[in-house]
Amino acid sequence: MSSHLPPRGSRKPERQGQQPQPQPSKPGEEPPLWAPWYGIGLLAAVKRPFSKYTDFSGRASRGEYWWFFLAYSLVVVVLYAIFGILGIIFGVINANSLGNQAMAENVMAPPGFTAVKVLFQIIFVVLSLGLLLPYLALTWRRLHDANYPGPYFFLGLIPLIGPILLIVYLATASKPEGARFDRPR
């Protein structure tokens, strides 16, 4: 009885049409920008998306994506905390949220707080606009690494289920088939 399985220890035949995989970089060596960086650290993951902020081809490892996401989230939390602390220091209470209409009419923000509020709003707008394109390109490349098309990013705009699907796709392990999105330079 003949078996259709290859003998043990033999290499599996390469799939037709599949591009060769980039060689993993040596420890401490940065891979080329077009290749995903598996095992990337926090600081490198924060800097790398800005090196290729308009590059929607190629792939990004889970580490590249999630370290950047963590750093961005921490910056936002710190800015909100500073803004909240300044609000407390200036004695600003939103009495409307406490349900006391009479108090709400009498509470006024100190003159300096309005300037601080506007300054923080400007910081958030500049930060959001400055990170929009790098974040979009990084997410696009992360989807490629999991072998999903980049436009799946827009699934996140579908109410309720969209963001859940996008998180699942972004958390998916890297797949060798994602190499089809690579554009070696």
Q: What is the DSSP letter of 34?
A: T
Quick check: is 109 in a domain? yes
Quick check: is 51 in a domain? yes
- pLDDT tens per residue, range 153-164: 999 999 999 999
- Distance in angstroms (rounded) separating the CA atoms of residues 114 and 136: 32
Quick check: is 85 in a domain? yes
Quick check: is 19 in a domain? no
Q: Please provide the average confidence, as pLDDT, over all residues in the chain.
A: 80
pLDDT at 89: 72
Quick check: is 12 in a domain? no
Percent composition of the chain: helix, strand, coil (DSSP 3-state, to 5): 60, 0, 40
Is the entire prediction scored with pTM above 0.85? Answer: no
pLDDT bucket at 99, cuts 50 / 70 / 90: low
C-alpha pair distances (Å), 11 with each of 3, 20, 23: 16, 15, 17
pLDDT at 107: 55
* Overall domain count for the chain: 1
Contact 63, 37 (CB under 8 A): yes
- pLDDT tens per residue, range 36-66: 999 999 999 999 999 988 889 999 999 999 9
Quick check: is 33 in a domain? no
Quick check: is 15 in a domain? no
- The token pair at 125 is 């707008």
- pLDDT tens per residue, range 1-48: 444 544 555 444 444 444 444 445 565 678 888 789 999 999 999 999
Q: Which domain holds residue 92?
A: 42-180
pLDDT at 80: 86
